[in-house]
Structures are given as C-alpha cells and as structure tokens.
Structure 1
C-alpha cells in the first residue's frame, strides 16, 4: 500500500471537533482542519486566516500540498502518542450546527508540551509535503535543488546529481503560511504564547533539515560502482516524528515573564542556551487520566491497554491505577485456503479467542 493511501485512511480515523483558534485572539485559523476535511476545501475555507487565504489564492497548485502537510502532521502525532494517556485525539465536543471541524481544541492554546509537539509536527509536515511537491515538479516556483548540481568528491568517486529535495523553498513557504498570523499578536497580551509557538514551529522545520540524508546510485561496468551520483533527500516522516517525540520528552519549560527573549523557567539553568530544535512549553500538562469536557480531554476510561507491558501502554500506567476490565473477543476468519481445480478456493473457518483489557 502506498504512503499516500495509508495517510488517507489514517486521516479518516480523526474525529471532527469544535473549531478553536490556533492562538490567543484567534490570530491564526486552524489550518489543520484541511487535513481532516472529507471534501476538498478551497482557499475560502473558514479556518484559514486572511494571510493564509491570500497565499492559497496566489499558489493554488500548493493547496494539495498544504492539505497533505496537515494530514502528515496529524497522522504522525496519532502514531507517536497512540499508547500514551494523551493520544493526540481529544474527545469530540458539541458543535454549533454548520460549524467547521478542527483537529484540536484546548491543546493548541494551552501552552503545554502537547501544544509544542502539535505545532512542531504540523510545521514539519508542511515543509515535507511542499518540498515533495517541488521535487515532483508540481510547483512552478520550485523544483530540485540546483545548487548541488556541480561538485562532489572526486577522490571518493562520486558527484552531485539527480534531484535533491529543495528544502529551502519548503521551509520558506512554511514560515510564510504558519508564522505570519502568529507574528501579528506578538505585541499583544498573548505575545508570550505566540513567540513560543513561533519557536516550536521553527523547531519542527529544523527537524526536517537536520535529518536530511544523502542517497547515491552506482554507475560503472557490470555494476562496479566506479562512479556514484548522489543527491540529498528528506528522511521519512516517521523518522522525523520520532525525533520530535524525543524533543517532546526533553522539552523545556520557559518563564512566563515577558522579556526580550525566551528563557528557561529554572533559574539554575538559564545560562544553558535554548537551541533552535528544542521544544518549549509554558504550562504544565493537565491530568489526562480523567475526562474533562471543558478542556476537551477524553480521559483514559475504556482505552485498551497491555496487561504485560511496563511502558506507557501498560494497564497500570494507562489506567492511572484505576484497574482494568478483561473480556474475551472472538475472531472468526478464513484460513488454510487451497485452490481446487477447477476453479475455486476452499477455506476453513478458523476461530480464535483473545483477551482484551480496557481501563476502568
């Protein structure tokens, strides 16, 4: 199955939620909605900010890439957190009739570690999808990275060639599309959160750049590999997601006092510089164990857990000490199929019983 088909199927698993602003003051529309919409929304979609709609109209060939970037980020978020108490899938909230759906609620404006990851992974998804569109020749303004077409290492028998991913254009477009709405509120009351979100957006983009790799193809008589043609390519988005998940695990809490630049909350660590790829958060995460309709937290009751695991998916951790229920699930499927001449397939019906554990 192709990666695009897998992403499309994964996107269908994402529930429709109440539309909430990307940052305080509704400075930016929740563009991630584009990755969930069953139809193909155009540039006039309500969740986009005026600046995003303008860019969308100027670059209509990138609408598909923008939608794919949102889908990439949402899918990877779900994949990385599928076994955690917060599984990147808030509970559905009541919606006004006709109101558009959105990807997240409280998490986007909460200033927590989860908010940091969402901003980073979706910004990275936009870079990845736009860059792919450039390399595929779907965008008139960009194609392959021409700066690498000459040079190489003669002593090692290789030279630059092929089609290197033009990540520079992808990163530039991601900044224009995602950062401008946030920059409009940096001078207002929500500026601390906006500046932090700008940093986390950039951290996602830096992850894509940091994990660029070199691919090569051999040339020579009988595959001797006397000469190699090499080009730069982006890593799989799954690898980028794992990198950002590690940054999430080691994210840095910053001070909520307004200063000229972001600084660590812990005074003893303020001399340690904050790196571009670090994820930052302002507020501690809420309790994801218990359902909270106000914050859009579904809780972990009813979640399937692993009775023998010591990790986050284990029944002890995932169920927050409440215990778990066990029930038996019966699976019936065709098995031991054989072709019978002529012309049909004969199968047996196999039945298996599986214990399934769910949190109380």
Structure 2
C-alpha cells in the first residue's frame, strides 16, 4: 500500500497511506462494538439460521432501518454476502461465531480490570481464570478453545504417528476437546488433560457427552505457570501436547515449562506444539500480541526463533508443519 519515496522523504501519496492505516485502526473499535452488539442481540445467530430481514427484526428487537444499515456495514466488511435478497453470512463466518462471543466476554473483563494499562505499567498480566467467573463464561471460553479441535487432532496424528496406544499428556488442554477427538482415532491410548481448576467442570460436561471415553481420559488440575508440579505426569507420558499455550506465559515461564519437559520426559517421547508465531497470523497478528500483553506475555518469536528456542531447551531438530487455512504452525520434537 505504500508508494515510492519522494525527494522530501515522504511516500508517493504524501503520507496518506500511513494516515489511513492509523485512522482505520483508531476507528476499528466501532466495528468491534457493533459485532458484539449484533452477537448479543441474536443477529449473527439469526443470519446463521437463515432468517429474513423481517424475522431478524423480530429476533433482535431492532429498528428495521437500523437493521438495514447494520447489514450494509456487514456486507461491506465481507461478513454478509453482497447483493439483495435474504441476507446470508459469508462462507466460513459461521465457524467463528463462538469465538466472537468468547472475545466479547474477554474484552469486557479485561476492560473492567484495566488489564492492558496494568501490563504496560509493569504490574503483571491479568488472567480471567485467576478471578471468580460465572460458569457460563468459563463454558463459553472452553467451547471457543475447542472450535479447532478436529483440525488440531488431525495434525497431531500426522506428527505423532506411533502414538496409537500411547499415554498422552495434553498440557493446557482446556475442556479436553482435542484429547477426545484423538481418543476416537487412537482407541488404545489414554489421556490426561491438564489445565486450571475452573476448566474441570467444562471438561466433565464434554466428557459426559462421550461416556465411552470416560475410562481413558482424566483431568488433572495444575497451573502451567508453576511447572514443577508436573514432573510425574511428564515422566509417564509417551506424547506431550502443548497447543497454543506457551505464548500466554511470560518469557521465563516458557523456558521453565520447556525445561521441565526436557528434564523429566522419557527418551523417545514425542512433543507436539502449536504456536501462532510472529510471522504468521496475517492481519490478526498485531491483535494477538495485544491479547498476550494483557496476560503479561511479550511473546514475539517468529518460526525460526521458536525453533531455536526448542533447540536451546534441549530438543534437537524440530520439525515444522503448517495447517492449511490456519495462521499458526505446528512443531514436533522427540526427546533424545
């Protein structure tokens, strides 16, 4: 988008591209506010259900002219398909709707908590799971994290081919969605899902819908910010999963957790990691960095830096794979 530099050092459009980018991001919060309102009022769900405009007015309780304006905004933003007739969500949008609801809850919590200001002032990160939360909020968070479980499980199976009868340790596994997806493909494997205590209830609810898996999957409440408590679980595992977890830890916490795995994992143990590195994520990348800042993390590794971090921790020759359509990367190492 930038033009060629002129003699005065400005770009070819007298800095207009830079000004437009700045104004876009300064005003982008308006779309965020509208999306959250639309989701809370049932508009996005109504579009997913195929309702017409009159039915959407009934569901949302909105003024018909205001609704028409919102639909036009969403058309221009690529959220709703262009053209007249019955409004429809653009392809692929429906799969992300649970993430919108989770993002709305998290954004409200961080705003009320002053998370970003506290992190920028060096007062530490803010984690919603450190504070009492309504069960619906915890459940929504877990469901959002489980949206990519099927694709994640397929990639894990590609990277850990010899794990059909393994003891699998899923560190930061939330409600166990990935473990349960893997359990269907690995009928002789057993699984331990490790996460914070508030996620035990969502885990139980998900497992309750899969009673045949109950004998093979259990939940262990641990805080990955204190990895010393994980030694026994790490030592018993044949496969260890760390899926979109490390970027939420402070720098020292990342290295401490990797160090515990290297110190206690048995030789031949396969470790599969999924991370959104700085050279992935496209337009979303700077937004994720802000998210991590709020949690007290300054993770900025690109894929090469992350691979070197694994090598420094004692895991030679990391293997890297990309998942089609996903902004993040998978890495696999074997404990020597």
TM bucket normalised to smaller: under 0.3
- State the TM-score, normalized to the length of structure 1: 0.24
- State the TM-score, normalized to the length of structure 2: 0.25
- Which one has a larger percent helix, Structure 1 or Structure 2? 2
- Which one has a larger percent strand, Structure 1 or Structure 2? 1
